[in-house]
Amino acid sequence: MTRQFSRRKFIFGTVGTAAAAAAARLAAKVSGESLLQGNAPRPHGPHSDAVAGPVGTVDHARNGFHPVELLTDFDYGDRVYEENGRTVREYDLVAFDKEIELVPGVFFPAWTFNGRVPGPTIRCTEGDLLRINFTNAGTHPHTIHFHGIHPAAMDGVPISPNMVNMPRDLTGPGMLQPGESFTYEFDAEPFGCHLYHCHAIPLKRHIHKGLYGMFIIDPKEGRPPANELVMVMNAFDTNFDNANEVYAANTIGFAYMDDPIPVRVGELVRVYLMNIVEFDLINSFHLHATFFDYYDHGTTLEPTLRTVDTIIQAQGQRGILEFRYKHPGMYMFHAHISEFTELGWMGMFHVTEGDETVSHDNHRNHGS
Amino acid sequence: MTTTETTDLKRDKLRLPLWLLALLPLAALAITLIIFLTTNPVSIFTAEAPPIEDLQVQRVELDDAGILVSVINNGPDPVTIAQVLVDDAYWNFSVAGGSTLDRLDTAGIRIAYPWVEGEAHEILLLSSTGVTFPVEIPVAIATPTADGRQLLSYALLGVYIGIVPVTLGLLWYPVIRQTDRRWMNFFLALTVGLLVFLAVDTLFEALEIAATVPGAFQGQPLVILVTLLTFLGIVAVGSNRRQRDSMLFLAYLIALGIGFHNLGEGLAVGAAFALGEVSLGTFLVVGFTLHNITEGIGIAAPVARQRPALYHFVLLALLAGGPAIVGTWIGGFAFDPLLAAIFLSIGAGAILQVVYEVARLVVRSSQRDGVPALSWTNIAGLVAGIAIMYLTALLVA
């Protein structure tokens, strides 16, 4: 910015440059300081009683979901049945508009799947047949696009007008208008930690308004029992200037600072982690005081990275973390992007001594 | 004849009391408003529209307890300050009197933030609907507190930019006194030139400050109107005084107008130091001192043919230069854009009035000498006055 030495303008002096600041400090040293500032160094700002973080508490009941419950809320299907010797899992997903409190007192006009952000964590086993009954009860056209292996007609992408002559079996139904329904049907493959999201245009808006969720396909042989947690790293642009004001894991900023996640010393913790922030190129996850193995995309049974404490994920990237805590205590986890951290994406594990077999029995991937 | 009388009588009988007639349009207005608000014909435009939120920052203060941001709700709807971000981080804060502000409510937001001296900070006020209001701190420096030592320091700045140059300018009085009568007209025309520049400058300064006043107060129209009313008011007050005293009286009026102008310069310097722009402030003090030295000539010129007692010169210097001290105090400790704009408008009106008075003096004096009012001498004086002010203003522009 340029600086104008207008005596009228600078009264409100909101324009500043580092050079001017430096010049001001220099000038203060040689002339004005003794006059106006005194010679002794002045304390400035509080150091002991400065408190970071938001003020107040979020009304989770009003939101209709609690971030602690989202961690372990795996959805194995609204209807599960056998068909030609295969397990069929049927899910009902409804898109509708809903206001959500993101940090205390700040409300966001979200677009949701089933009234929550992130949407339900769809969980199944490799080889299952999935039927996703999607109804658009919102005010804008929507789709569901699953990351996975499936026919083009089930890909949930919009059809642009210049694709009008393209056969529908190659494009699918395109965007579903408010009031319309469609059933996406496909096989669950490959196993891994995936995601689904609305692919309607304008894409950025449809994603950052909240239309996304995690999609876990367990390998046939399963994974070792563990305390399993879902963390969807997301962010919200509350003033619609294409930059985010709130960052979080599972929507509510600072949620796991208020409600630390209980973990036992020595138990295996498995975090299904995905990044769905808009506007920022990457997000990251950093764990305090222990190290983890990382399975990028979750599509392998062997870790793709061993013994790390920080990973980065691009938009839409995801993976599985596995770790154990050696010592009891409170341990932070957060994006190692300080800006995101201080804008809400931070939390705590509360690690206690105890019988690790008491550990959460949420690895029920054969559940009915 | 009889018919007319009866109609008149009838009309008299039907005539309602005057006060009732006066209230009639108001009653009709009230009914219209009630109908408008109950039927709400504009609902068609606002079906799903979010409220209009407009918070305006009035003042930012930095001290040992952190940051204090004073805001006013300049919009039509209530605003709730839900969260506060400092440098892209959520911070605890408290709002005296609650965080929901109705229209034109003001509030002080206290943030316990460890600000860094000499560095920049940015605060974002996040409303309940997710709207953000940025607050810039270009250079963080402790806001001066109005203790004796600080008041004295700021007063000294005011002395430098106000009293010192005006006094030095008045020292030209003997020179003006001893010049030829024709040169007297030149000096009066020069005074008009100086004052025209100051009037324009003060008016624009008032308008620029008024632009930052919350919209509801209609800052810029207010500036024009206050200027106009001040001008007319002083003309009315000054119109029936005696000729003998009028020259000295005129000198006092000029000093008063210049005083208001110097108040504005004091505001600028005081605000610069308070915002930590010490180098800019130092630069301005020197500039204004040089710029203002010609103001003394303008005050002295009308009394060149009289011999006022010395105490008059002391009073004139205090009247013209003293307000700069008040200006540095207001600018440094309690800057309020609305008040500043009003002060400067009064100043602009007062200066315009003395422009009018001195110009009349030039015209009368020229007529007495049998030369046209727009003689080359007078025009040269006018241009010289404007040029001197313009060129010395380059020192602070």
Q: Are the Cβ atoms of A23 and B204 closer than 8 angstroms?
A: no
Contact B142 A44 (CB under 8 A): yes
Q: Which two tokens stand for residue B274?
A: 């308070």
Which of the four pLDDT bands, split at 50, 70 and 90, describes residue B241? low
Taken in order B380, B383, B386, B387, the sign of the CA dihedral is negative
- The residue type of B177 is R
Label residue B215 by pLDDT band (50, 70, 90). confident
CATH of the domain at A173: 2.60.40.420
Give the tens place of pLDDT for each residue, B66-89: 999 999 998 888 999 999 999 999
Q: Does an H or E element contain B61, and which?
A: strand B55-63
> Tokens standing for A350?
């509360």
- Which residues 335-394 of B have a C-beta within 8 angstroms of A? 335, 337, 340
Least confident of A41-50, A209-218, B67-76, B298-307: A41-50
Contact assignment for B66 to A27 by CB distance below 8 Å: no
B155 touches chain A (CB under 8 A): no
pLDDT at position A57 over 90: yes
Residue A363 lies in a domain: no
Contact A239 B132 (CB under 8 A): yes
Say which residue, B351 or A355, is predicted with more confidence: B351
Residue B247, domain member (yes or no): yes
- Check whether residue B192 and residue B229 sit in a common domain: yes
| pLDDT reading at A100 higher than 80 | yes
Q: What is the pLDDT of residue B202?
A: 86
Query: Are B202 and B347 part of one and the same domain?
Result: yes
Q: What is the pTM of this model?
A: 0.77
What is the C-alpha to C-alpha distance for residues A144 and A207, in angstroms, rounded to an integer? 11
Show the domain range for B348.
148-393
Q: How far is A305 from chain B (nearest CA, A)?
A: 31
List Cα–Cα distances, B286 to B162, B171, B257, in angstroms: 11, 19, 22
Give the chain B residue nearest A28 (alpha carbons). B278
Dihedral of CA atoms B362, B367, B372, B373 in degrees, nearest 10, equals: 20
CB atoms B208 and A8 under 8 Å = yes
Q: What residues in B contact A339, CB-CB < 8 Å?
A: 88-89
Which one of A4, A9, A37, A44 makes the best mutation probe of the B interface by having the most chain B beta carbons within 10 Å? A44
- In A, minimum Cα distance to B328 occurs at A11
No. of H helices and E strands in chain B?
Answer: 13, 9
Q: Which residue of A has its CA nearest to B202?
A: A8
Q: What is the pLDDT of residue B389?
A: 85
B1 touches chain A (CB under 8 A): no
Contact B216, B74 (CB under 8 A): yes
Average pLDDT of chain B, as a whole number: 84
Across the interface, whether the CB atoms of A238 and B126 are under 8 A apart is answered yes
Close Cβ partners of A213 (under 8 Å, ≥ 6 residues apart): A113, A118, A119, A120, A121, A122, A195, A196, A197, A232
The DSSP result for B288-352, as a single string, is: HHHHHHHHHHHHHGGGTTS---HHHHHHHHHHHHTHHHHHHHHHHH---HHHHHHHHHHHHHHHH
**CA atoms B237, B239, B244, B247: torsion sign:** positive
| Closest residue by Cα to residue A215 from A93, A128, A95, A124 | A124
Q: For residue A282, what are the domain limits?
A: 60-358
Residues of B within 8 A of A5 (CB-CB) are: 280, 283, 396-397
* CB-count exposure of residue B50 (10 Å: 0-12, 13-18, 19+): exposed
Residue B197 in any domain: the answer is yes
- Cα separation of B82 and A55, whole Å? 8
Q: Which of B83, B223, B291, B338 is the mutation pick for testing A, counting most A CBs within 10 A?
A: B83
CB contact under 8 A, B130 and A254: no
Which of B107, B137, B167 is the endpoint of a domain? B137
Same domain, B207 and B275: yes
Give yes or no: residues B334 and B229 share one domain.
yes
Q: Greater confidence, A187 or B365?
A: A187
Q: Is the pLDDT of residue B149 over 90?
A: no
Q: How would you classify the pairing of strands A129-136 and A86-103?
A: parallel
Mutation site, B280, B335, B396, interface A, largest A CB count within 10 A? B280
Domain final residue pick, B104, B137, B170: B137
Interface list for B 3-32 with A (CB within 8 A): none
Tell me which residue of B389, B276, B325 sits closest to A25, measured CA to CA: B276
| Buried-state track A39-62, b at ≥16 Cβ within 10 A, e below 16 | eeeeebbbeeebeebbbeebebee
Of A21, A44, A253, the CB nearest to B62: A44
Its ipTM equals 0.78
Nearest 5 degrees, angle CA A311-CA A268-CA A77? 85
CB-based contact B313:B170 (threshold 8 Å): yes
User: Does one domain contain both B154 and B133?
Assistant: no
Chain A residue at shortest CA distance from B332: A11
Contacts of B88 in chain A (CB under 8 A): 339, 342-343
Residue B385 placed within a domain:
yes
Q: Strand A192-197 relative to strand A212-218: parallel, antiparallel, unpaired? A: antiparallel
Among the listed ranges A283-292, A317-326, B68-77, which one has the minimum average pLDDT value?
B68-77
Q: What is the mean pLDDT of residues B6-17?
A: 63
- Same structural domain for residues B59 and B161? no
Q: How wide is the angle at C-alpha A236 spanned by C-alphas A232 and A242, nearest 5°?
A: 125
DSSP-derived 3-state class of residue B118: coil
Number of domains in chain B: 2
Q: Considering only CB atoms, which chain A residues are within 8 Å of B267? A: 11
Amino acid at B111: I
Look at phi and psi of residue B279 and say left if phi exceeds 0, alpha if psi is from -120 to 50, else beta.
Answer: alpha
Kindly determine whether residue A106 and residue B83, on different chains, have CB atoms separated by under 8 Å.
Answer: yes
Check CB contact under 8 Å for B91 and A52. Answer: yes
Same domain, B237 and B270: yes
Kindly state whether residue B47 falls inside one of the protein's structural domains. no
Closest among A348, A323, A334 to A265, alpha carbons compared: A323
Q: Based on the domain organization, do B243 and B363 belong to the same domain?
A: yes
Does any domain span residue B32?
no
The answer to whether residues B127 and B100 touch, using CB atoms and an 8 Å cutoff, is: no
By Cβ distance, the residue of B120, B130, B142 closest to A42 is B142
- The DSSP bridge partners found for residue A142 are A176
Burial of residue B19 (CB within 10 Å: 0-12, 13-18, 19+) is: exposed
Q: How far is B80 from chain A (nearest CA, A)?
A: 8
pLDDT at A322 over 90: yes
Task: Check: CB of residue A300 under 8 Å from CB of residue A193.
Answer: no
Is residue B78 one of the residues assigned to a domain?
yes
Same domain, B378 and B256: yes
B146 CB within 8 Å of a chain A CB: no
Shared domain for B62 and B178, answered yes or no, is no
The residue among A368 and A95 whose pLDDT is bigger is A95
Q: Is residue B39 part of a domain?
A: no
Out of B90, B127, B331, whose CB is closest to A54? Answer: B90
Size of interface A-B (CB pairs under 8 A): 191
- CATH, residue B70: 2.60.40.10
Which residues fall within 8 angstroms of residue A169, CB to CB, at 6 or more apart? Answer: A151, A152, A153
CB of A261 within 8 A of CB of A348?
yes
Q: Is A8's CB within 8 Å of B128's CB?
A: no
Q: Does B395 contact A at CB distance below 8 Å?
A: no
Q: What are phi and psi of B389, to 5 degrees?
A: -65, -45
- Partner A, chain B 168-207, Cβ-Cβ below 8 Å: 204-205
Chain A nearest CA to B393, separation (Å): 10
The answer to whether residue B1 is domain-embedded is no
Question: Is residue A202 packed enough to be buried (19+ CB in 10 Å), middle (13-18) or exposed (0-12)?
Answer: exposed
Q: Number of structural domains, chain A?
A: 1
- Shared domain for B335 and B274, answered yes or no, is yes
Q: What is the pLDDT of residues A324-348, one digit of tens each?
A: 999 999 999 999 999 999 999 999 9
Among B115, B137, B159, the domain boundary falls at B137
d(CA B123, CA B88): 8
Chain A nearest CA to B201, separation (Å): 10
d(CA B128, CA B133): 12
Q: Read off the pLDDT band of A359 (50, 70, 90).
A: very low
Number of CB atoms found within 10 A of residue A262's CB: 13
Q: Residue A23: its pLDDT value, please? A: 40
Q: Per mean pLDDT, which of A34-38, A362-366, B367-371 is the most reliable?
A: B367-371
Residue B242: strand, helix, or coil: coil
Is there a domain that residue A21 lies in?
no
- Least CB–CB distance from B267: residue in A11, A52, A105: A11
- Span B286-310, pLDDT tens digits: 877 877 888 888 888 888 888 888 8
Q: What is the pLDDT of residue A93?
A: 97
Provide the token pair at B121: 């900070």
Same domain, residue pair B61 and B167: no
